[in-house]
Structure 1
Amino acid sequence: MAASSCSSGVRLTAFMIQLVALFATGSSTAQVPLLLWSSDSVRPLASPAAGHITSNDQLTAYLAAAFGSGPHTVLLFLQDKLSKDDFTVFGGVFGNKQDSAFQNLEAALQSSSSSVTIPALEWSGSSAILALLQEKLGVSPVLVDADTLSHLTINASASNLLLINLPYCSGLHKSCKEVLHDNDAIIGEVLGTMNDKNVPYTAIYTGLQPSRVISEAPLSDRSVGRTLLQAVVPNVKPPIMFNVSGNPCIMLWAQNLSVSLSSTAEWIDLAEQTPSLTGSMCNGSSSLLVLSYPSGFTLSFAMSQRFYPVSARNWFTLDSVQLQSSGQNASFTGGRGIYAPAEYSFHCQSVSSFQHALLVPTNANPNTSQWRVNFIDFQIQGFRLDNRTDFSYASDCAGFFTAGIWMGLITSLLMLLIFVYGLHMIMQLNTMDRFDDPKGPSISVPQSE
């Protein structure tokens, strides 16, 4: 780590704080970050290799050189828990400074004459850093807060160790960001008081223990370099695009374009192959996308658009899909279920010819009557791309009133009818207008001996 200049302190801090120890050895490391800045100057620290964890011995050697001679006033902001993830999650390291929970801390680092950032300091105990500073300064810590510090007389000719304890979000009725924001406000008040007293100081911000323990795999068990970044990027295939005079005309994308030549044959995913678009065409009223694959299969998508007076707009339909192989072909119609406004694209999670079929086989050829197609996460657009390189808004095949919604509505309606009928029956009950007289003569039943 190197001492930052006034203009680059925050940038260096932000970069080092979000640096994850990707190359550290061992199965689990407990570490805390440490930020150090001074109103005067601090001795620079040599920049370690990427992912290096600074040991306690290295920190001891650095503090011995930094506080080697003369009196020093040290402000130790000791938070209950702290990890570098707290800076990356709640700080302004991604450019949004207004939303950062460490605005005063970042301002202090930027305005200080020099600073040192240790993103990963080996954690060996909750009192290690405090005991180390006591040993180097030769004084006992004085526990203060922002209010008591303003009334405290500080002798700048002697060493002073001022301890400011800061809470963490565990067990508090506040979010972590709110707690860290409050801690940052305390840091700002303390530094403001020190500036008002015109006392030179060195400030340290660290944690009693890490808030998170990062589990890491040994360096020898994983590859490094560019493959580390490539593994994070998802492998998303680009859409198939047919251009006319350099302008996009038809676009198609699918996760799987599976075909099968019989009900028992294995599925062949054509999306894994690169097709030829020879034979494709498009104009203002019709489009034809022909995908010829090296395996001998050919898929053709025929679309058309027309004006519908009822909706007062143009709609396009996927009229047919043809599958060709070895000189034979099977045709599937889809115009009744695959349609969208002409300026939209059509999307459906599953387009198949055998289950909830949107593609209906014509069965014109008995030799291909068992051929099946199944398109997963299918999206197509054949009109009004207007030089776009991505799909327009998608009209999805999933209707609002699904089978589950209809079942719920019908069940609710039936229960409502039963409730209304029962309420109606209760309201029709009337009180009797005639009663038997209990005071009337009793019935006499003669007894025979």
Structure 2
Amino acid sequence: MAVSWVSAAPAIMVFLLFLSTILSTGSCGDQVPLVLWSSEGYPLPRQSPPPAGSVVSAAQLDSYLSSALSAAPQNTLLFLQDELSVDDFTVFGGVFGNKQDSAFPHLESALQASSSPLVLPALSWGGSSAILPLLQQHLGTPPLYLDPTSLAQLRLNASVPTLLVIHLPYKAGSGLMSPRDALSGNDVVIGQVLDIMKAQDVLYTAIYTALKPSRVVQDLSEGVQSIGRTLLQAPVPVDPYPPLQFPKNATPCILLWAESLLVSVQRDNKWETVDLGPLTFGTSPNVTLTNTMCNTTKTRLVLNYQDILQFKAFSLTFSMSQGFYPVSARNWSTLDFVEVEYDGLSVVFNGSRNIYAPVEYSYHCQSVTNIRDALLVPFNPKDIAASQWMLSFSDFQIQGFNVTKLAFSYANDCAGFFTPGIWMGLLTSLLMLLILTYGLHMITQLRTMDRFDDPKGPAISVPQNE
């Protein structure tokens, strides 16, 4: 049936392929989609899409970007949305190319005009946080954050690589507008940017993705066959490898786990990136823990590597401390700093202001980075060396105190419970409650008249002067 649609309507062939690829993934899970296309008339190298249902990791994304950007225009547009899931395309996309019923008319038009777009329906959450360092590595240029107004005043040179990041302003499901209106507003921004590029006659490569999914659905394992009360039990996620522990052959005092540990360095105006996750975790890690120590007040986890990013000696140090805070009347642990040491030099990033947890808990955050929405900031803002390094840890979890078993304690997550939408709802509800209370108070103060005029009495006469 799909073949007959393509032959009957070649103009929407690409979009139907886009929808069919998305529909084959089944569930959104903890992944975000990624769409890559080029300007009209500029072909991209054809690449085999991932198998249906598979999740694209950061390493696989690097391979896809390497093939696509090798022959693509060097002016790259990265449309970065806060939240996006595959279901947003299937629910709010046009049916059979009907753009009047779609929240993505400009995106669909761009995909139809492109000769060979790349669609990755399920990109791992860690991979989405790594896309910016990977693009900087392939293009060899830092990102430039723009909006359509600023882009219209910029004159691009087709011979010079540029990485333009357009942060889409609207957030689906924020409560201020419906998800459809939010996605439609972002699509309008995409259309404005593409029109500007077309008006300047500049070839480009465009990427549309998000930082995290808008709909997180945990899939039940196919092996789960239990019934009864266990149907109400949430599935336990299975980590691909156990956490790193110190010491290894005794009761640990430090635990560390991350999906990826991306480290990038700028050398000769080009970014070089390495993922230290496979070298740190798993059954055969290639890391040593020399100089690691822990006691009741301070812990220091030192990850030592060899021949990383062309450095003979390379290490990552996570230094934590714990103390009593009178305001909260309890002990808290903080990640004081993350230090990168390379061939005798070092650069230090402070994390104590943003990375903390009760001493009985572990700390968890989906993204710990020193770039956008940074949790790690340079100790010395004027340090030029700090600006040449980028750290991006995805699904990061660490515990340096009160480790009782070979597993993390309850996690204190960096994602706050009271989001701006929740605060606005609470304040609006409080305002309505005050208005209702004032109205009830006014009603209770009403009094009926205790004297009335006698209709049978003499009428009141008012003399008139002639």
Shorter-chain TM range is 0.3 to 0.5
Give TM-score, length-normalised by structure 2: 0.44
- Say which one has the larger Rg: 1
Give TM-score, length-normalised by structure 1: 0.45
